[in-house]
Amino acid sequence: MASKKITILGGGNLGAAIAEGLLKSGFAKPNQLTVTRRNLDRLQHLKEKGVTITSDNVAAIRASEIIIVALKPYNVKEVLEGLKNSFDPAKHIIISVVTGVSIQNLYTIVGNVPLFRAMPNTAIAIQESVTCLCSQHSTNEQVNYVNELFNQLGITISIDEKLMDAATVLGACGIAYALRFIRAATQGGIEIGFDAKTANLIAAQTVKGAAELLLKGNRHPEEEIDKVTTPKGCTIVGLNEMEHRGFSSSLIRGISASYNKIIS
């Protein structure tokens, strides 16, 4: 299945990043990829790499088997309504990365085409996304293909569709939470003597290293924290002060607030 032709409907931030990642990984050759949007000036970088860029969604769908929908939630219904006769259930797989539009809603628009929902994050641009995936009525072969596609762009996790909003908060909004942590650590670093650039580099690489300890070392966070908290030492003093000020609590409450907003 890996040689299938892929169309990305809506070559904006996410759509273009997916195209770049698929090219970089070699999963798709330029002549297997089509990216659509109305303003084609913004896709010249992909055209230069040999990708087909077009505003003709119908022609793009007809020429491909895999259709990645990366439109905004507010115009997905209108655009797909206009394209519904172009989808062939025996030929196409649709993968929607659109936030908040359920598989059932998509079915009512496009009919009985095999459908997946994917929730990546912006680290997809550097092939470091976590992408949560769910589907209905798909074959094992189709599931494997879609997993393989997003595995080129980071890691994939299969979830129940009812967890898609939670995946949006923890994975996609999570990029902003993690970046705010790095920003705050940088500001602290400046206060204790570093210039901004050096403080930012130390903070960012430290977060990357901490994450890799969990991902590559298969460790629990508390196990790694115990290693650096010497009795009566400076780490535990700082960590406890952060907790007295609500560090874990504010993060958990922020995640809940984002979730409540998304489901309201």
What is the number of the residue whose Cβ is closest to ligand NAP? Answer: 12
Smallest gap, in angstroms, from Cβ of residue 4 to ligand NAP? 20
- Alpha-carbon dihedral angle through residues 157, 252, 96, 134, given to the nearest 10 degrees: 40
Shorter beta-carbon distance to ligand NAP: residue 10 or 189: 10
Q: CB 260 → ligand NAP: shortest distance, Å?
A: 18
Question: What's the min distance (Å) between Cβ of 193 and ligand NAP?
Answer: 35
HEC readout, the chain: CCCCCEEEECCCHHHHHHHHHHHHHCCCCHHHEEEECCCHHHHHHHHHCCCEEECCHHHHHHCCCEEEECCCHHHHHHHHHCCHHHCCCCCCEEEECCCCCCHHHHHHHHCCCCEEEEECCHHHHHCCEEEEEEEECCCHHHHHHHHHHHHCCEEEEECCHHHHHHHHHHHHHHHHHHHHHHHHHHHHHHHCCCCHHHHHHHHHHHHHHHHHHHHCCCCCHHHHHHHHCCCCCHHHHHHHHHHHCCHHHHHHHHHHHHHHHHHC
Write down the least CB distance from residue 30 to ligand NAP, Å. 19
Closest to ligand NAP by CB, 153 or 182: 153
Q: Give min distance, CB of 214 to ligand NAP, in A.
A: 22
Residue closer to ligand NAP by CB (options 7, 32) is 7
What is the nearest approach in angstroms of ligand NAP to the Cβ of residue 191?
A: 31
**Which residue number, 154 or 189, has a Cβ lying nearer to ligand NAP?**
154
Task: Rank residues 113 and 123 by Cβ distance to ligand NAP and give the closer one.
Answer: 123
User: Which residues contribute to the site for ligand NAP (CB under 6 A)?
Assistant: 9-15, 36-39, 57, 70-73, 75, 79, 97-99, 119-122, 172
**118 or 199, CB closer to ligand NAP?**
118
